[in-house]
Chain A
Amino acid sequence: MKPERREKIEEALFAPLVAILIAFVAGDILMLSFNQSPFVVWRLLLEGSWGNAYGFGQVLYKATTLSFTGMAVAFAYRAGLFNIGGEGQLAAGGLAAALVGFALPVGFPAILAILLGCLGAAAAGGVVGAVPGYLRVRFGAHEVITTIMLNFVVLALLNWFIATKLRVPETLHTPEIHAGAIPRLSAILPAFHGSAANLSVIAVIITAVAMWYYMFRTRGGYELRAVGLQPDAAEYGGISVRRVLFSAMTISGVIAGLGGINFVLGYKYYYEDGFAGGTGFLGIAVALVGRNNPFGILIAALFFATLSQGGLALNAFVPKQMVDVLQGVVIIAIAASVPEVQRILLGARKRLVDKPLSESAAAPTQPPAAAV
């Protein structure tokens, strides 16, 4: 490996690893405060998640949705957009996948049905993503506000739709789909029996590879990242900033929407109100820890899924909210470590001026408090 490349990877890994280390220490302190041995509790957490096939299957299942919502956040982020609407986009995708599943007749070819279900999920997520995208480029409405607000709108609409049109009586979910079920992983590897893990895992890996390729190997990705880094320079380079912003927000929604297949087509075979359960929001943390790189996100999603699954095993020893606390610590540590903590830890005393190479022109062109 070329030294520069290795340095880049080390740099990318540094912050997440430090953050996890900090969470680890914080976890130790918490456990000690509950008079539990950290060693025992950590071991339990690992045994409950990676220690057996069922637990690992659950980790994979949870990581799948998180990877989708994480990649959705990262895709928008690379274009300089902050998509906080993953929750609503994910839910909309899930309902669309279920609707496709009803619409298709029993016995419809499985592969085709699954593809159509995915398409429906992607389209629904895309529509929910496109709305804030349009509002941004047409009216300049900030996407942070519009995506947050749209979550409420979308979730309320879905709730109304389920409650009034399509639920199984006495429940908050739809009837089961007729076609488009994604096979469980246990169908191939019986050891996973009972776990929710399903072949959506493959969709997630395909999405990660496609996202990486698009982002770093295509003209579209070149232009998208240019807009995210320096919109003025992108505009100067003949890139339509509005078009990029709109499409990035839409595709971000598509990716989040796709996440809906994991629960609906892969696990329950119906849509249930509130299934997203915060996964859309946790995607923000996953993207942050994964440094907005699709493969980093896969790893980060596994990490958060491990905490979540392992946390279930801890109930008897420490409150399961401790896992939420740990997640919070990781997120805070990551947020703080990009890149300031790095510098502190790397021994640089000063963080005011760190761009040494170009003399006169090195200072940022838009200092926070520029006079002119």
Chain B
Amino acid sequence: MAIENLSQLNEMHIDVLKEIGNIGAGNAATSLSQMLNREVDMVTPIVRILDISEADRALGGPETPVVAILVELGGDIGGIMMFVIEQEFTQSLLEALLGESKANCTELTEMEYSALSEIGNIMIGSYAASIAALSNLEIKISVPAVTVDMAGALLTVPAAEMGAVSDKIIFIEDDFLSASKTISANMMLIPDIASLNKLMNSLGIQL
């Protein structure tokens, strides 16, 4: 039996995604700590299958400003990955990377866009590499696109672009600990359905 939409994923599938999330977040924490030149730990990520409307609530409401970095997946897997960072995390990243404090994240300079794009690239790359390593599939990621806008406006885009097999997305919430501060980042994984089946098969999961 093949999965036709995300709401059919069961506990076992979620566990597999959690494992991918674990390894991905571990790699991401290492990269982040190198980039920021400070220790970054991560808490075990929470993996959920959410409605888009629940996902924007998880980010603080539909009109909350967030930074989203989006890539298209290619190679053996098709789909979209989006990394969403909240305002507070954006501020600490920009401070650590560029040494500037930014009160308002809805207007960014070229340099700031470029720095955030690089962070997104590294974080998404860490996840993609962990999926590739576990599944033995080849995964390519496109050049990232960065947008700052209302959370709700950004969240519907991947689902709509994928033809909205359902209004659900795979939502991986990571908490990173750095200098006694907890910062949340969220990875959204939106594989096309054929790729999701391929991925589960490659991981040896009976569907």
Instruction: Indicate whether A and B interact.
Output: no
Chain B positions within 8 Å of A, measured between CB atoms, are none
